[in-house]
Amino acid sequence: MEETKTNALTPQEQKDEEMINAAFKKLLDTYLASNHRRKVDIITKAFHFAKQAHKGVRRLSGEPYILHPIAVAQIACGEIGLGSTSICAALLHDVEEDTDYTNEDISNLFGPKVANIVEGLTKIAGGIFGDRASLQAETFKKLLLTMSDDIRVILIKISDRLHNMRTLSSMAPNKQYKIAGETLYIYAPLADRLGLNKIKTELEDLSFKYEHPEEYKAIEEKLSKTQRERDAIFNDFTPPIRAELDKMGLKYTIKARVKSPYSIWNKMQKKHVTFEEIYDILAIRIVFTPLKREEEINECFNIYVALSHIYKPHPDRLRDWLSHPKANGYQALHVTLMSRSGEWIEVQIRSDRMDDIAEQGFAAHWKYKDAGAEHDDNELNRWLNSIKEILDDPQPDTLDFLDTIKLNLFASEILVFTPKGEIKTMPANSTALDFAFSIHSFLGSHCIGAKVNHRLVPLNYRLKSGDQVEILTSRSQHVQREWIDFANTAKAKGKIQAILRRTDREHQREGEQLLKDFLTAKEIEPSTPNVEKLVQLHGYASREELLLAIGEKKVVLDENDVNCLRGKTASSGWRRYIPFIGSRTSSHVSSVAKAFVKGIDRKKTLMLDEETLEQCHLAECCHPIPGDDTLGYIDERNNLIIHKRNCEVANRLKSSYGNRIIATKWDTHKVHFFTCTIYIKGIDMQGMLCQIADVIHTQLNFEITRISLETKDGIFEGTLVIRLHDTDDVRDVCNALKRVQNVIKAVRVN
């Protein structure tokens, strides 16, 4: 049907139309420049269909909605290297969810392959940005299930997330924190595991930019200021290498790789160092075209030998990912060389093929590209299978599930041997117990120890590459609760938790019977309100926790429980003597505070002033103080808990309870004091303790509440717990301590 153009387009519509057509033309140009078969017609058809379906709809930024699917398709094609099927699915990925069209309509028009991918994407959409998304872990679970059917689903989902991150500025701050936290917790490690290094880095940097804008800006400025210095090192270091590679007759490029802002900041946080103390910001990357493709690994080693004649290599820092690639397909040879200016510089040697895989990931070369072709069972297949195993035994707690999966996502690998000499790839930091569960669940659950390299070791022994492991078992051995702390792999943790849950259910049944018998004997009805009173009395979070404690004999019911149920509160259990205990502090918040929390507008930024702070908790896990980047979390009991944005617990909350997150900003005026811990290290000299105390108490006039120092071999280190107002005070204290002679380090720690 032809439309009659009776109405001329308004200037805004004309502008929108030009913008949409330009974006689609760019997508087609990118597709035609690739080595995929030319299926322009079906892509154009999908574009027009999606454009019509989203007609009149705009994004929060104000631009026409269709620009989002085009941008997602552009990323999938241009940055991941996917073909026409994926481009069509990307263009149509929001049609089924946001319009009246069904999956059947899409299947009839574009075929079952495109329809299946769109259905997979629709299943996992479920309000990622909306109020429906109460548990992001559930979304993630669906994502993994669909991913194991067709890897293109997750690749398009990552493209979708990348575009949403690039346009995140139009969202409210609390949504920005939620989405950035979820990206850092789930999507960046997924991209990394699928070999999408470039996308992983951008997702991390964008998350960092929105969560910690000031730190991001500071690192960007420092990188910019030190650029000339790095250029000088690069220009001095590379000419002898170029001369040697020219002599070998290789076609190559040498690039400077600069550490990303997020990686730099992450290292600063973990190692408690400043920007100036990070020495691996610059690395050199050599990408060459092999003279013979089948000899590319040997040619990498030949380049290494040639380089070692020019510069001295570090004896302990040769990383060989050629013979045993990483689980995401990454192959390269990393060597650290001593430059003429006395600095260690990492050099990464890889072929052009290895470079493509490092940037785009071998997920882009998945088996769907060669229809009917048989592929070897590779690392990605094995990884997907290990995820399927975890999905077969779903965790009741979505946070536990996320943590379990993350163990698989982040792990780098070690190679260990069975007693018969077979090689087994394990995640780094795996223990003997992990190895036992990786062989068989029965072996793991009855494991009593192991022999590593013929030497007896305990269950929590951490394996190293090259270890030969023999597991020792006993039928009388059973899974213990502390084994959770011994296990570091997703599979082992999942199996241990499943076995413990079965045991817990038995204890809960016993506890339920004991409680029922006790209440019946005291002529009290075992009703839900009565049980809830006992739950609160003993300080447990749920009925199940109380029943488990009774079944395990951790709680013995007595007259206190009877008095509580009969309204005699004078003697209400030992917990009344301890106002705050662990995570149960929330039950003690006043009704005034709860009313205050209920009245908070979650879409606005909450100012943390003297009045507000009276109504909320400062999280024990990260001890935020004024000046820290923070967010608020409203728990199920309407308590407001303030966390630092980079706190591990906050990251889990952002990923699983995103809609309970609120944006916060400090507005204190050096009225209240907050506790802060400073780590200090230096060369031990007589009178050092007096000098430290003098700086803090006399010069700065802050109160030290605890001091703990230890000396060994002439070096002292320890912590000072100080009461101060904000992060400016922390900076002043650290700077003053560093000025004390022989103090090497003074940094704040959680």
Q: Give the pLDDT confidence of 286-298 residue by residue, as tens digits.
A: 999 998 888 899 9
**Structure confidence at residue 464 as a pLDDT band (50, 70, 90):** confident
| pLDDT band, very low/low/confident/very high, at 375 (cuts 50, 70, 90) | very low
Contact predicate 375/365, CB 8 Å = no
**Average pLDDT in the 724-730 region?**
89
Q: How confident is the model at residue 490 (pLDDT cuts 50, 70, 90)?
A: confident
At residue 149 the predicted structure's pLDDT band, cuts being 50, 70 and 90, is low
Per residue in 384-396, pLDDT tens? Answer: 666 666 565 555 5
Range with the lowest mean pLDDT among 5-9, 285-289, 501-505, 738-742? 5-9
Task: Name the nearest CA neighbour of 420 among 439, 442, 437.
Answer: 439
Mean pLDDT rounded to a whole number for the chain: 80
Q: For residue 572, what pLDDT band results from cuts at 50, 70 and 90?
A: very low
Contact 485, 499 (CB under 8 A): no
Instruction: Give me the residue label for tokens 């259905």.
Output: 119
Model confidence at 410, in pLDDT bands (50, 70, 90)? low
Distance CA 275, CA 269 (A): 10
Number of other CB atoms surrounding residue 273 within 10 Å: 14
Highest mean pLDDT among 200-209, 566-575, 671-680: 200-209
Reduced to 3 states, what is the DSSP secondary structure of residue 171? coil
The per-residue pLDDT for range 306-317, each reduced to its tens digit, is: 999 999 998 888
**pLDDT for the residue 579:** 33
Which tokens is 362 given?
Answer: 């071998």
Residue 654, pLDDT score? 80
Which of the four pLDDT bands, split at 50, 70 and 90, describes residue 205?
A: very high
> In this prediction, what percent of the chain has a pLDDT beyond 90?
17
The pTM (predicted TM-score) of the whole model is 0.72
Rounded Cα distance between 414 and 354, Å, is: 21
Distance CA 410, CA 190 (A): 8
Q: Are strands 333-338 and 319-320 parallel, antiparallel or unpaired?
A: antiparallel
**Which tokens sit at 340?**
């003429």
Give the pLDDT of residue 334.
Answer: 92
d(CA 282, CA 501): 48
Query: Among 155-164, 481-490, 556-565, which stretch is predicted with the lowest mean pLDDT?
Result: 556-565
Name the active-site residue from 16, 63, 98, 244. 98
Phi and psi (nearest 5°) for 520?
-65, -45
Integer Cα distance of 76 and 159 in angstroms: 6
Give pLDDT, residue 367: 32
Counting every residue written for the chain, the total comes to 750
98 is catalytic: yes
Nearest-CA neighbor of 413 among 450, 374, 386?
Answer: 386
3-state secondary structure of 316: coil
Q: Spell out where 236-325 has E strands.
A: 251-258, 282-289, 319-320
Quote the CA–CA distance of 421 and 425 in Å, as a whole number.
Answer: 13
CA 291 centroid distance within chain = 40
| pLDDT band for position 446 (cuts 50, 70, 90) | confident
User: From the candidates 16, 97, 280, 400, which is the catalytic residue?
Assistant: 97
pLDDT in tens, 599-648: 788 778 888 888 888 888 888 888 899 999 999 988 877 788 899 988 88
Residue 218 has pLDDT above 90, yes or no: yes
Q: Is the pLDDT of residue 398 over 80?
A: no
Strand partners for 715: 683, 712
Give the pLDDT confidence score for residue 588 in this predicted structure: 44
Who contacts 406 (Cβ-Cβ below 8 Å, separation ≥6)? 185, 189
Model pLDDT, residue 403? 61
Give the span between the Cα atoms of 572 and 577, in whole angstroms: 9
Q: What is the tens place of the pLDDT at every residue in 512-522?
A: 888 888 888 88
Rounded mean pLDDT of 437-455? 87
Instruction: Name the pairing type of β-strands 251-258 and 333-338.
Output: unpaired
- Select the more confidently predicted residue: 398 or 124: 124
Whole-number pLDDT of residue 300: 93
Rounded mean pLDDT, 24-51: 85
In the DSSP assignment, the letter for residue 583 is G
SS3 282: strand
72 has pLDDT over 90: yes
> How is residue 17 written in tokens?
């139309």
- Do residues 401 and 137 touch, judged by C-beta distance below 8 A? yes
Mean per-residue pLDDT, 324-353: 86
pLDDT of the residue at 307? 92
Q: 């979070």: which residue's tokens?
A: 541
Q: Which residue has the tokens 């990498």?
A: 300
Would you say residue 109 has pLDDT above 80? yes
Q: At what angle do helices 84-91 and 67-78 cross, to 10 degrees?
A: 160
193: number of Cβ within 10 Å: 24
Q: Rounded distance, CA 393 to CA 259, Å?
A: 39
Q: Is the dihedral of CA 690, 695, 697, 699 positive or negative?
A: positive
What's the average model confidence in pLDDT over 219-246?
Answer: 92
Lowest mean pLDDT among 43-52, 277-286, 526-535: 526-535
Taking the C-alpha atoms of residue 708 and residue 703, their distance in angstroms, rounded to an integer, is 15
Highest mean pLDDT among 138-152, 352-366, 476-490: 476-490
Structure confidence by residue, pLDDT tens digits, 577-598: 333 333 333 444 456 666 677 7
Please report the pLDDT score of residue 200 as a whole number: 92
Query: Hey, what amino acid is at 21?
Result: N
Give the three-class secondary structure for 439: helix
Q: Pairing relation of β-strands 344-351 and 282-289?
A: parallel
Note the pLDDT of residue 165: 92
pLDDT at residue 589, rounded to an integer: 47
97 is catalytic: yes
